[in-house]
Amino acid sequence: MNLLEKEIIEKFRQLDPAARKRLLGLLEHIEYERPLSALELMRLPAEERQRRVQAAIASAVDEDFETFEAYSEEAIND
């Protein structure tokens, strides 16, 4: 069990029974959107793909990424 899970359990234990019931009801209604495969993404309408890409970029705004150039095998062999 990771630190986040332990913290959630501890906070849950501190709730009164009515609050626990409300929280469980809320959790049942949270939709989990699983990651799509590349094929599933390509099957989406272009507007939906663009929306998902923009959402992914926005959610990663504070991430630290390393940029690099990718070359084809032909370019490497030259």
Assess whether 25 and 39 both reside in one domain.
no
pTM: 0.41
Residue-range definition of the domain harbouring residue 9? 1-30
Q: Is residue 73 part of a domain?
A: no
pLDDT tens per residue across all 78 residues of the chain: 899 999 999 999 999 999 999 999 888 878 777 888 989 989 999 999 999 889 888 988 888 878 777 777 776 665
53 domain residue, yes or no: yes
The sign of the CA dihedral 60, 65, 71, 72 is: negative
- Residue 41 and residue 23 share a domain: no
Measure the CA–CA gap between 47 and 50, rounded to whole angstroms: 5
